[in-house]
């Protein structure tokens, strides 16, 4: 936000003109616009049948944002807002800045020499003065003197006091100190007429940025598409309403931006997942295909409502085969694959095996694994010839058998370490061909039912399936990839690498990556996390914890006002940052949308269909013949979820 400066607040009242001075009669053309009568009182005027009171603004906030005068301009009553601007030549500006800096520095040193406590306002003014002098010296801005006056119009004297109090309260809410121009009410009224006359001359020094934000044509709303834009109708997704102007925040991530990525950071309970699901649902309205990595199974109701595909990794009968080659089907029925599909699949299997065993294998083990992968594909008839790639792919069991049959000791040891995933407790995810094709306008990969030991490799396989779909050259369409609670994924090296690759390459495939996380400090503390955030053209900050606000403010270059807003924001309120534009907004949803995206346990319990969508199962022991009827524990329900 541009800052108003505390460097040189001056008040130079002009002497009131004498009433005994003879004045010439106005010409006939001017008499037509003159009031019928004019009664001058100490603090108001009676102009014809109206009562008028004028205020001069003598105190300003330290920081202002674009359109900060909009609340005054949209006041429901009649209020005239007059802004008088007078440029200051650079020589005079430099001389006054040096003089003001000398005063401020001498005051600070005097207080320090006499053991007095530092004045925070004086320190802030000194900091602003140094910053402003550096801008002026570099030619990045100029100085102006600005006078801001407000005139209130009412039809009766009884209404004047209430209207004056309302306008002053509105000004105070904007951190503006509005004072009545006592005994100068006539000069104040003339200063707010469209005559270009400033007879009050109570002014404040502004720099270029702060002055530009004070003009009426600046707005806190996001800029609309230009007149020469191809889009004739608004495009994008409705996020909510603007807290500064009550206008709508309507944003198109697939518009003319550097990329289509978005990052959403907020503490737990700030409305992060609510906003992600709301944007996802409204993107589906536009025909955008979506893929979701859901660690807590929060998207099941949404997927069921819109007819999406829901893949429950870890559920009985749900399997993924890491050996499957990326075979794409074109709209005309042709089938094809990238020229290096077999090589890429072999490299991915190296990564998948490393995640399974929990470490990078030794060079000897990698050599044995590479030879075994090639031999396993050959045994099923798949070679370097692309015509063989449509044959059924081998399984992880086939790879383990190949390693066991080899004479290489490193291969035999690797086969033994793969036993839990082949014939042991974790074999259910790999002991057969893939059971589902992740196709559709919405595909949700649920990871909640995966065992903790399987989550790293399950996450990797889900991300690989998403990436193969996104990079499919057969179908070009806008897509969203949503990674909810990304801090869980960033703890895994394979997941962090995927997010980094997706953030860098998603734009080339007409894809937008949405990363939502509540643990912003941990994400920003890593190089890969910082790279993911830096490669997001759309950045949304919701309410932040005091422990993380310093890092957030440093990374996103937040002003003091934005920092305070994020500390006190209500649920669903946030700051949308897109390039040079920043908008404070409140997310809103219709009742139907709210029922699909809310995660409030009380609201979910009150919904009749909540039990139907519950994925937790219970073990019924009532028909077990081994149970003793007299066993006192028979009265308890055993949860085997």
Q: How far apart are CA 563 and CA 574, in angstroms?
A: 11
* 201 shares a domain with 128: yes
Q: 23 in a domain, yes or no? A: no
Shared domain for 174 and 197, answered yes or no, is yes
- Is residue 460 scored above 80 in pLDDT? yes
Predicted confidence band at 608 (pLDDT cuts at 50, 70, 90)? low
Q: Are 329 and 304 in the same domain? A: no
The CA–CA distances, whole Å, from 84 to 136, 144, 200, 626 equal 21, 10, 10, 92
Q: What is the pLDDT of residue 612?
A: 42
| Spatial distance between the Cα atoms of 96 and 79, rounded to a whole number of angstroms | 34
Identify whether residues 312 and 327 lie together within a single domain: no
pLDDT reading at 530 higher than 90: no
Whether residue 225 is contained in a domain is answered as: no
pLDDT value at residue 284: 92
DSSP state of 429: G
Determine the pLDDT at residue 283.
Answer: 92
Nearest to 517 by CA among 357, 335, 295, 329: 295
Q: What is the pLDDT at residue 295?
A: 85
Mean pLDDT of the chain: 81
Claim to verify: residue 422 and residue 273 sit in the same structural domain: no
Residue 558 lies in a domain: yes
Residue 631 lies in a domain: no
pLDDT range class, residue 628, cuts 50, 70, 90: very low
**pLDDT tens track for 243-299:** 877 678 888 888 878 889 999 999 888 888 899 999 999 999 888 999 999 888 889
Residue 10 pLDDT > 60:
no
Both 205 and 107 in one domain: the answer is: yes
Domain boundary among 185, 214, 243: 214
User: Is 607 contained in some domain?
Assistant: no
Range of the domain at 196: 9-13+34-214
Task: With a cut of 70, say whether residue 66 has pLDDT above it.
Answer: yes
| pLDDT band at residue 54 under the 50/70/90 scheme | very high
Over range 427-453, report the average pLDDT.
Answer: 86
Residue 574: the pLDDT is 92
- Rounded to an integer, what distance in angstroms lies between the CA atom of residue 433 and that of residue 317? 10
Domain boundary among 410, 435, 460: 435
Helix or strand run (H / E) with residue 128: helix 120-138
Q: Which CA distances in Å does 267 have to 148, 257, 535, 544?
A: 40, 27, 21, 5
Q: Is residue 24 part of a domain?
A: no
Answer with the one of 435, 462, 487 that is the final residue of a domain: 435
Whether residues 582 and 472 fall in one domain = yes
Question: 174, 72 in Cβ contact below 8 A?
Answer: yes
Provide the CATH number for the domain around residue 372.
Answer: 1.10.8.730
Residue 629 covered by a domain: no
All residues at 6 or more sequence positions from 345 whose CB lies less than 8 Å from its CB, including other chains: 323, 324, 325, 326
Provide the CB-side half-sphere exposure for 622 (13 A, CA): 5
Domain CATH for 596: 3.40.50.300
Closest CA to 2 of 600, 637, 605, 582: 582
Q: State whether 157 and 116 are in the same domain.
A: yes
Which residue did the predictor score with more confidence, 436 or 69? Answer: 69
pLDDT of 623 above 60: no
Q: Looking at the structure, do residues 179 and 257 belong to the same domain, yes or no?
A: no
Range name among 74-83, 138-147, 315-324, 533-542 with the lowest pLDDT average: 138-147
- Please say whether the dihedral angle defined by the alpha carbons of residues 555, 498, 438 and 456, taken in this order, is positive or negative: negative
Same-domain status, 123 and 248: no
> What is the residue whose two structure tokens read 């010439």?
24
Confidence of residue 71 (pLDDT cuts 50, 70, 90): confident
How many domains does the chain divide into?
A: 3
Query: Does residue 466 sit in the same domain as residue 596?
Result: yes
Whether 622 is in a domain gets the answer no
The verdict on 507 and 414 lying in the same domain is no
* Matching residue, tokens 């319990």: 605
């Amino acid at each position: 936000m541009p800052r108003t400066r505390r460097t040189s607040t001056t008040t130079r009242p002009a002497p009131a003109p004498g009433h005994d001075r003879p004045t010439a009669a106005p010409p006939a053309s001017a008499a037509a616009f003159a009031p019928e009568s004019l009664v001058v009182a100490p603090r108001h005027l009676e102009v014809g049948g109206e009562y008028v009171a004028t205020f001069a603004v003598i105190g300003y906030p330290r920081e202002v944002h674009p359109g900060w005068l909009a609340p005054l301009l949209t006041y429901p009553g009649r209020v005239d807002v007059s802004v008088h601007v007078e440029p200051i030549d650079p020589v005079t500006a430099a001389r006054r800045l040096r003089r003001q800096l000398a005063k401020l520095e001498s005051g600070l040193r005097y207080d320090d020499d006499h053991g007095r406590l530092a004045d925070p306002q004086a320190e802030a003014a000194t900091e602003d003065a140094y910053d402003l002098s550096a801008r002026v010296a570099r030619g990045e801005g100029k100085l102006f003197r600005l006078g801001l006056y407000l005139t209130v119009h009412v039809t009766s004297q009884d209404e004047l006091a209430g209207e004056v109090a309302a306008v002053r309260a509105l000004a105070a809410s904007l951190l503006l100190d509005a004072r009545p121009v006592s005994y100068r009410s006539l000069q104040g009224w003339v200063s707010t007429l469209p005559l270009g006359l400033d007879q009050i001359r109570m002014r404040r020094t502004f720099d270029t940025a702060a002055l530009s934000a004070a003009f009426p044509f600046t707005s806190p709303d996001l800029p609309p598409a230009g007149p020469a834009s191809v889009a004739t109708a608004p495009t994008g997704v409705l996020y909510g309403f603007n807290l500064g102007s009550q206008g709508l925040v309507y944003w198109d991530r697939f518009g003319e931006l550097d990329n289509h990525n978005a990052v959403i950071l907020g503490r737990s309970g700030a409305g992060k997942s609510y906003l992600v699901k709301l944007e996802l649902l409204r993107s589906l309205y536009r025909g955008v295909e979506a893929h979701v990595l859901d660690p807590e199974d929060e998207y099941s109701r949404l997927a069921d409502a819109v007819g999406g595909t829901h893949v429950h990794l870890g559920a009985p009968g749900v399997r993924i085969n890491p050996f499957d080659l990326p075979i794409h089907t074109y709209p005309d029925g042709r089938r094809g694959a990238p020229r290096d599909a077999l090589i890429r699949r072999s490299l991915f299997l190296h990564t998948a095996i490393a995640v399974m065993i929990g470490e990078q294998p030794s060079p000897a083990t990698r050599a044995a694994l590479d030879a075994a992968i090639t031999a396993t594909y050959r045994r099923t008839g798949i070679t370097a010839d692309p015509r063989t790639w449509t044959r059924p792919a081998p399984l992880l069991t086939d790879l383990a058998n190949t390693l066991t049959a080899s004479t290489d000791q490193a291969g035999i040891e690797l086969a033994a370490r793969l036993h839990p995933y082949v014939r042991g407790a974790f074999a259910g995810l790999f002991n057969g061909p893939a059971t589902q094709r992740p196709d559709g306008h919405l595909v949700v990969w649920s990871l909640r039912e995966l065992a903790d030991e399987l989550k790293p490799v399950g996450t990797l396989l889900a991300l690989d399936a998403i990436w193969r779909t996104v990079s499919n050259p057969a179908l070009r369409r806008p897509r969203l990839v949503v990674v909810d609670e990304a801090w869980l994924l960033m703890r895994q090296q394979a997941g962090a690498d995927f997010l980094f690759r997706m953030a860098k390459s998603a734009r080339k495939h007409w894809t937008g990556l949405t990363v939502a996380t509540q643990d912003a400090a941990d994400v920003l503390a890593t190089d890969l996390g910082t790279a993911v955030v830096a490669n997001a053209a759309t950045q949304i900050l919701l309410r932040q914890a005091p422990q993380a606000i310093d890092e957030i403010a440093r990374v996103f270059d937040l002003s003091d006002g934005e920092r305070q807003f994020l500390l006190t924001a209500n649920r669903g309120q946030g700051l949308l940052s897109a390039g040079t534009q920043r908008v404070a907004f409140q997310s809103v949803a219709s009742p139907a949308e709210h029922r699909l995206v809310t995660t409030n346990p009380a609201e979910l319990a009150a919904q009749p269909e909540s039990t139907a969508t519950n994925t937790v199962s219970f073990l019924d022991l009532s028909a077990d013949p081994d149970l003793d009827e007299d066993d006192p524990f028979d009265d308890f329900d055993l949860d085997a979820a």
